[in-house]
């Protein structure tokens, strides 16, 4: 077990024609001993490259990688005390499950065969694949292959687990089951883990902390609830949360934020945090929009329901200010699944001021996040 | 539905026409083979009295076959001695080269690969003279390996056979590399990386992961190379020449021609004896071959 430090880690790929592409740009994170860190971002954001640098499959252009305080930039992949689980599982198709799991121990240690067999059996029992040891990967289901891949990593008894979208090849039901199982496993083994995914649900549910990456640059590191309620910038706000946060481009005029379709009055307190900025993005999470039948406050806006998406437990409502347009601009509000609401129906959306986020329109930096009287305590308690 | 209806009134004029043409083609292609087989079982007398493709009821004999085997046995032995190692080593070296050029990353590998591809297109005729000079003046195996020829009692003629073996190995590496490379490109990079993380060296990854996965492609290259090398006459004539170490294709040229009349039945039998090993290789590796070709 050990702490893993990524100190200003940078990867520059040089193309054949001399073009330089910065894939990872100065990523700075310290993963505590036994912590489960999720590296999340859209595809091409550099999260896999970061993981591959840690594994040693990709050289580090600059910056330092330290395991338990010791620089490991130059160490061979096999000598870094990490084990990786790949998206494709990367099992050896001509070997049985037992041989797949023994391979690493045979190649990297002097462990006698009997001890290897014992370790492998133990790990297989733990993963619930004890009865599959003599099968080949081709005869296993996706979920079983996934377990073999995990078992192969566990057998190595590494200091750090590296996981590259390990659940993305599973069907939805199995994925959520394996999600829980993986968390429990990581908890039991208490091994430092870095988990790469593009799926914000996995990030929210699995990580002790989330590191959000975009375009090679680290956007925010924090607990899932911090990232959700106190996003550092508009990118994080947009990326974390499903359905995503609604954004409106607004202009500050006096004590009001002027959007295309509405004017939103704000308090002096909010105005003071805005300072002398004039162009802002106003963000509001779908579940923070309250639906009413009559407009009674300045934060109530008359809208029309464009589309209703029932998900059972709740309804996603696509609301619009402009019902006559053929493809109207919409924003999303969620409401309980038992509410009977139909498309075309007029409805009043209440946007409470303590739930709004404001972002600088140019830089995207958060100017004001929602006030967190309840959520803050929640976030810290995790 | 359409399919069954076609089958129902299957004896339409169209279908009869198609079958007639197919049958004609089958006869056209198989007749020479049939004539060869039939002829090889005829006595010289019967050969003169019957049409080439008709069996000779009175003049049936297996003497031509036993005579062919007798006369070709030395060549057969030499050919096996040369073709088996040449085939195995060209496939093995091609596989290793392809692995080095595909699954391992290093600078300038594309340039090296292009050289290999170019090697495929060097025609035999262009290298005959340099090849002969190389083996006689620069790498005179009959002198270098004299103790071996003396000890084994094979005679220095076999230096030529060894030279031919090495030549075929070298000439076979480019095409084998090309075949294996296309196969190794489909091998998952993540799997090779997993093996690296598991602590396997480049050599161990080849030995334990890549090689066992290459069996179908080995079947393809083994069949292809064996047929090529076994059937080669040009290099054998230039490098081995007449003598104790002649390979079977060399022996085949002269067979049945020493007599006053060309002994066609004997030539036919000899041709089949010569072709038999390539046929056997196809039969033995056929299943793996199909896997390798479709992979």
Q: What percent of chain B has pLDDT over 70?
A: 96
- Whether B278 has a pLDDT exceeding 70, the answer reads yes
Q: Which of A169-173, A271-275, B152-156 has the lowest mean pLDDT?
A: B152-156
CB contact under 8 A, B191 and A92: yes
- Whether B244 has a pLDDT exceeding 90, the answer reads no
- Whether B4 has a pLDDT exceeding 70, the answer reads no
pLDDT score, position B292: 76
pLDDT score, position A10: 95
Q: Which of A85-89, A172-176, B250-254, B287-291 has the lowest mean pLDDT?
A: B287-291
Q: Which residues of A touch B188 (CB under 8 A)?
A: 88, 90
- Whether B174 has a pLDDT exceeding 90, the answer reads yes
Residue A4, φ and ψ in degrees, nearest 5 = -115, 125
- Whether B2 has a pLDDT exceeding 50, the answer reads no
Residues A6/A63, Cβ–Cβ less than 8 Å: yes
Q: Within 13 Å and on the Cβ side, how many CA atoms surround A18?
A: 0
What chain A residue is nearest to B209 in terms of C-alpha separation? Answer: A92
Q: Which residues of B touch A93 (CB under 8 A)?
A: 213
Walk me through the domains of chain A, giving residue ranges and CATH numbers: 4-237 (3.40.50.300), 244-381 (2.40.50.140)
Confidence at A194, pLDDT banded by 50, 70, 90:
very high
A83 touches chain B (CB under 8 A): yes
Q: Which residues of A touch B203 (CB under 8 A)?
A: none
Q: Which of A97-101, A209-213, B46-50, B151-155 has the lowest mean pLDDT?
A: B151-155
How far the first Cα of chain B sits from its last, in Å, is 33
Give the integer Cα–Cα distance in Å for A213 and A234. Answer: 13
Give the ranges where chain A is alpha helix by DSSP (H): 47-55, 97-108, 113-126, 142-155, 172-189, 200-206, 224-229, 234-239, 268-274, 375-381
pLDDT score, position A378: 47
pLDDT score, position A1: 57
Burial of B17 (0-12, 13-18, 19+ CB in 10 A): exposed
pLDDT score, position B149: 79
| pLDDT averaged over every residue in chain B | 88
- Whether B77 has a pLDDT exceeding 80, the answer reads yes
Residue of B234 and B47 predicted with greater confidence: B234
Q: What percent of chain A has pLDDT over 70?
A: 97
Confidence at B9, pLDDT banded by 50, 70, 90:
low
What are residue A282's DSSP bridge partners? A248, A358
A18 touches chain B (CB under 8 A): no
- Whether A331 has a pLDDT exceeding 90, the answer reads yes
Give the integer Cα–Cα distance in Å for B87 and B224. Answer: 9
pLDDT score, position B80: 95
Q: Within 13 Å and on the Cβ side, how many CA atoms surround B241?
A: 11
Give the integer Cα–Cα distance in Å for B121 and B130. Answer: 17
Confidence at A380, pLDDT banded by 50, 70, 90:
very low
Per-residue pLDDT tens over the stretch B194-204:
999 999 999 99
Per-residue pLDDT tens over the stretch A41-85:
999 899 999 999 999 999 999 999 999 999 999 999 989 989 999
Locate tokens 């054998």: which residue? B236
Distance from CA of B88 to the nearest CA of A (A): 22
Mean pLDDT of B25-40: 93
Q: Which residues of B touch A108 (CB under 8 A)?
A: 198-199
Q: Which of A170-179, A336-345, A371-380, B139-148 has the highest mean pLDDT?
A: A170-179
Longest Cα–Cα distance in chain B: 77
Q: Which residues of A touch B193 (CB under 8 A)?
A: 55, 57, 77, 84, 86, 90
Q: Give all strands of the β-sheet with A256-258 in edge-to-edge order.
A: A263-265, A256-258, A246-253, A279-284, A357-360, A366-368
A59 touches chain B (CB under 8 A): no
pLDDT score, position B3: 47
Residue of A370 and B277 predicted with greater confidence: B277
Residue of A373 and B53 predicted with greater confidence: B53
B217 touches chain A (CB under 8 A): no
Residues 6+ away with beta carbon under 8 Å from B162: B141, B145
| pLDDT averaged over every residue in chain A | 91
- For A369, A370, B169, B284, the CA distances from B92, given in Å and listed in that order, are 65, 67, 10, 19
Residues A206/A199, Cβ–Cβ less than 8 Å: no
Give the integer Cα–Cα distance in Å for B56 and B42. Answer: 6
DSSP, collapsed to helix, strand or coil, labels residue A289 as coil
pLDDT score, position B87: 96
Would you state the torsion angle of the CA atoms of residues B284, B287, B293, B295, taken in this order, to the nearest 10 degrees?
Answer: -140
Domain boundaries, chain B: 2-49, 66-294
Interface probe, candidates B189, B191, B198, B295, chain A, greatest A C-beta count within 10 A: B198
- Whether A377 has a pLDDT exceeding 60, the answer reads no
pLDDT score, position B86: 97
- Whether A106 has a pLDDT exceeding 50, the answer reads yes
pLDDT score, position A381: 42
CB contact under 8 A, A94 and B193: no
Give the integer Cα–Cα distance in Å for A211 and A46. Answer: 12
pLDDT score, position B8: 53
pLDDT score, position B294: 76
What chain A residue is nearest to B212 in terms of C-alpha separation? Answer: A94
Interface probe, candidates B103, B195, B199, chain A, greatest A C-beta count within 10 A: B199
Confidence at B7, pLDDT banded by 50, 70, 90:
low
Residues B82/B161, Cβ–Cβ less than 8 Å: yes
Span B66-294 CATH architecture:
Orthogonal Bundle (1.10)
Locate tokens 């986020």: which residue? A357
What chain A residue is nearest to B211 in terms of C-alpha separation? Answer: A94
- Whether A374 has a pLDDT exceeding 60, the answer reads no
- Whether B273 has a pLDDT exceeding 50, the answer reads yes
């Amino acid at each position: 077990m050990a702490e893993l430090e990524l100190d200003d880690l940078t990867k520059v790929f040089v193309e054949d024609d001399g073009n330089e592409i910065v894939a990872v740009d100065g990523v700075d994170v310290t993963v505590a001993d036994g912590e489960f860190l999720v590296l999340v971002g859209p595809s091409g954001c550099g999260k896999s490259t970061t993981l591959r640098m840690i594994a040693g499959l990709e050289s580090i252009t600059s910056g330092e990688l330290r395991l338990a305080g010791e620089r490991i930039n130059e160490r061979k992949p096999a000598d870094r005390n990490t084990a990786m689980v790949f998206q494709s599982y990367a099992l050896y198709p001509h070997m049985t499950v037992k041989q797949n799991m023994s391979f690493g121990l045979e190649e990297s240690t002097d462990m006698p065969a009997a001890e290897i067999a014992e370790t492998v059996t133990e790990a297989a029992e733990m993963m619930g694949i004890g009865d599959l040891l003599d099968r080949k990967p081709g005869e296993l289901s996706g979920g079983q292959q996934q377990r073999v891949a995990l078992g192969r990593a566990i057998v190595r008894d590494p200091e750090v687990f590296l996981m590259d979208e390990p659940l993305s090849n599973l069907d939805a039901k199995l994925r959520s089951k394996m999600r829980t199982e993986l968390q429990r496993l990581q908890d039991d083994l208490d091994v430092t883990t870095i988990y790469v995914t593009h799926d914000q649900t996995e990030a929210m549910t699995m990580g002790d902390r989330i590191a959000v990456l975009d375009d090679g640059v680290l956007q925010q590191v924090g607990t899932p609830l911090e990232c959700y309620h106190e996003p550092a910038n508009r990118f994080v706000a947009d990326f974390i949360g499903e359905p995503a946060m609604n954004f409106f481009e607004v202009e500050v005029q006096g004590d009001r934020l002027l959007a295309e379709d509405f004017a939103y009055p704000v308090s002096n307190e909010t105005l003071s945090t805005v300072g002398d900025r004039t162009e802002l993005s106003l963000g509001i999470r779908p579940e923070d929009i309250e639906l009413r039948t009559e407009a009674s406050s300045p934060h109530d806006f008359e809208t029309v329901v464009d589309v209703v998406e029932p998900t059972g437990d709740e309804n996603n409502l696509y609301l619009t200010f402009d019902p006559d347009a053929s493809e109207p601009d919409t924003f999303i509000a969620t409401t309980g699944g038992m509410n009977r609401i139909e498309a075309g129906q007029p409805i009043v959306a209440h946007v409470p001021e303590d739930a709004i986020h404001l972002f600088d329109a140019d830089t995207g930096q958060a100017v004001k996040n929602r006030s967190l009287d309840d959520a803050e305590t929640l976030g810290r308690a995790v | 539905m359409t399919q069954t209806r076609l089958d129902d009134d299957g004896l339409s004029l169209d279908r009869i026409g198609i079958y007639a043409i197919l049958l004609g083609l089958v006869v056209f292609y198989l007749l020479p083979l049939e004539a060869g087989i039939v002829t090889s079982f005829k006595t010289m007398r019967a050969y003169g009295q019957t049409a080439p493709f008709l069996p000779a009821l009175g003049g049936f004999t297996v003497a031509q076959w036993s005579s062919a085997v007798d006369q070709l046995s030395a060549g057969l032995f030499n050919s096996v001695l040369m073709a088996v190692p040449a085939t195995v080593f060209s496939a093995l070296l091609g596989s290793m080269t392809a692995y080095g050029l595909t699954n391992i990353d290093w600078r300038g590998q594309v340039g090296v690969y292009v050289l290999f591809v170019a090697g495929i297109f060097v025609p035999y005729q262009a290298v005959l003279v340099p090849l002969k000079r190389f083996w006689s003046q620069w790498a005179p195996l009959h002198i270098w390996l004299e103790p071996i020829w003396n000890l084994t009692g094979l005679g220095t003629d076999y230096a030529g056979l060894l030279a031919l073996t090495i030549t075929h190995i070298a000439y076979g590496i480019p095409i084998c590399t090309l075949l294996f490379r296309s196969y190794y490109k489909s091998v998952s990079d993540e799997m090779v990386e997993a093996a690296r993380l598991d602590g396997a060296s480049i050599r161990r990854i080849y030995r334990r992961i890549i090689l066992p996965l290459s069996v179908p492609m080995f079947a393809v290259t083994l069949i292809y190379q064996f047929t090529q090398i076994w059937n080669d006459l040009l290099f054998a004539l230039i490098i081995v020449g007449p003598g104790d170490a002649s390979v079977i294709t060399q022996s085949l040229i002269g067979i049945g021609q020493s007599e006053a009349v060309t002994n066609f039945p004997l030539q036919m039998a000899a041709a089949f004896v010569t072709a038999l090993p390539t046929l056997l290789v196809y039969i033995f590796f056929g299943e793996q071959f199909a896997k390798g070709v479709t992979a």
